[in-house]
Chains A and B, each alone.
Chain A
């Protein structure tokens, strides 16, 4: 038996039928990580002992004839803003490095463990989640497994690199303005940002309370749905958590597109996308049988409002430290945070008003449509240290602009899944967003599964050049 099945569903099935022990799987995963991590810099902490302990407990339980969980023996890792018992929650920031280790796992980590997951460690990110490139001055840059000169995206860049390199099939991430979707797009993997308020953020380090989401990144559509199902459930520790009961999605994936009305987002989402990104959304739209294009009003202003709220709330959270320990902040975002902390209240109020108006208009569009398609990033992965990107002849700063297409969607809390596509040119993937009305993660995941089934998400095999 291959102890390296590529997907979580494959690993859980292999363990369940006794083909392989959890310990064998854990050891193989830890060896893979030890071999690749020095180059990728995806893990900031590797929890070898814990993974082995969890694996041995699973093997013992199986020997006693106990039923195994849905993620039994599946290695995973969590962005280092999740509390993991016994290690310090860094949130990518040296500012937090001297904090005491977490005393308990975050609820989402507990749920992964209860389902049989093997925690391999904590993953790198942009400091305090403020960035889209996982360029981290204090903990190093995470590299894209498809091209080590390029970024893995961010801020959940450790999570996307870990999955894209085949080291773990599932990773946990967070998404405030695109921090799951951008790295998933740039690394060619699957990701889900659920509806705002769906998954509890208890035990995770906050960035912008009113915009923060947690969610999974995964190697396949099935793994993504499985991880999401395991993560669901109410938790009183997060006041914004909607306390809804689990609404399973895995079983409905095979329903496919049955009856879904699908459209492609045009206008802003074309204007802010390079040709490669537009082609990806068009290809996905064709594969899913899109009814046509939809143009939403004032998307640029919605994105701008998300920017203002992010800056203001994110900055205000760290006001005291900005005053007392500025030298401990990430230089790439320190002044951005400080500028945000000084934003006048009227700008923020106006942005919040924009949020409710924009949400109402987009929900109107969802009366006619069940799913909207858009590119996930304006361009494919940029080079580490690259300051500018060019979109339709305009030069834009890389770090804030990578979120141009994700930011307006998370701003109003809609559930979005990202599916990878592989352009015909070049060696780099780019993702598409599949956007549904609130609480309909099942629709996003069915669409992702349909794209996977249609072969869109698979890297095309390059035909050898015919010799003449």
Chain B
């Protein structure tokens, strides 16, 4: 698949006086493929919102690159973005539909205004596009001439989505798309988004602290902690077998917890405050102090995000396939066998059992073993 958008060593620091800098986004590398739905999760303050503004190019980068379809867009100044042809390609759906809709515009005007600004549509073509989009998001035509205060929360959310997709962007970024909605409305909007995702073929980036949203809608997930990505991988696999201690803690805290009774005491983060994002020690793991596994090495050598298995990466010294798991992965790949991620832990445990039996056999000593053993001289 083709990379639609790619972040390379992306950095955003904010000066906070006294020559100190807040490291909101601190060296991110990731990409989103064409047609892919990616979830970005992490607690508030982890840098999610800053990252979104960097990708939508409404905030200037401190360092690094953003590439869209292979073209660098990182140097476009944020203030020039409003008139840039790129703006149409990446659209946002904002968290709070009430805040983000102009109270003086009807739903029709809001949707049409977006299309007028970013496309060359006008007249009857524009009217048709607005109505088609309204149909697409399930907004009845009789509501199109109402003002925001005459619409319910769910209806306003539909207007916000329609405004973004009327210009047919290639990437839709959704910032906590359901957080401001009633629980009953959330489910309906999630169903709508799931349908749009299947029908429209564009790429989606869901930013959410709600892991269930990500689990339901996303192909792949990025987990952020204090300005860095600590884990990434296919959503099903990450939820079935999270690798990073922070991800494990996030998932263990959900109702139902970790699959297959994997939860141990080590999956609960130690209380206490996260490290400060202001000039953090570059040689220290960001989770150090909260992580139950922290050792000396975590204090002196920050673990890089590295590939653990195909398509999965994590930034932790303790994560990594054991030699046996790596062997099993390689053997599965060689035999071209795919294993349901939910059954992977069971396979590991069965393989460990056979390995334990093989170890017993190797350790056995039967006097009278007269089968010749090779002799080697140094």
Contact = CB atoms under 8 A, between A and B. Distances in A.
A307 B354 contact: yes
A347 B361 CA distance: 8
B310 interface: no
Given A323-B335, A335-B346, A298 B358 contact: no
B366 A297 contact: yes
Interface stretch (B165-173, B311-319, B336-344): B336-344
Contacts of A353: 369, 371
A5 interface: no
Contacts, number: 89
Contacts of B363: 301
Interface in B325-378: 327-328, 331-332, 335-340, 343, 346-347, 349-351, 353-358, 360-369, 371
Q: Which of A307, A335, A341, A356 has the most CB of B within 10 A?
A: A335
A350 interface: yes
A339 B358 contact: no
Given A301-B360, A354-B361, A357-B366, A400 B371 contact: no
Nearest to B364: A301
Nearest to B330: A342
Contacts of A338: 337, 339, 347, 350
Contacts of B343: 334-335
Interface residues of B, number: 33
| A contact patch SS | helix
Interface in A338-365: 338-344, 347, 350-351, 353-354, 356-358, 360-361
A106 B102 CA distance: 82
A326 to B, nearest CB: 7
A298 B361 CA distance: 9
Nearest to B363: A301
A301 B339 CA distance: 30
Interface in A297-312: 297-298, 300-301, 304-305, 307-308, 311-312
Contact of B358 (A319, A342, A351, A358): A351
A304 B369 contact: no
B324 to A, nearest CB: 10
A336 interface: yes
Nearest to A299: B364
Interface in A273-313: 297-298, 300-301, 304-305, 307-308, 311-312
A322 B343 CA distance: 13
A400 B335 CA distance: 26
B351 A358 contact: no
Nearest to A302: B364
B358 A350 contact: yes
A308 B361 contact: yes
B139 to A, nearest CB: 41
A441 to B, nearest CB: 27
Contacts of A336: 350, 353
A343 B354 CA distance: 8
Given A297-B367, A338-B337, A347-B354, 5 more contacts: A307-B357, A335-B350, A350-B361, A354-B361, A361-B366
Interface of A: 297-298, 300-301, 304-305, 307-308, 311-312, 319, 322-323, 326, 334-336, 338-344, 347, 350-351, 353-354, 356-358, 360-361, 400
5 tightest Cβ-Cβ pairs between the two chains A and B: A301-B364, A339-B350, A304-B360, A304-B357, A347-B358
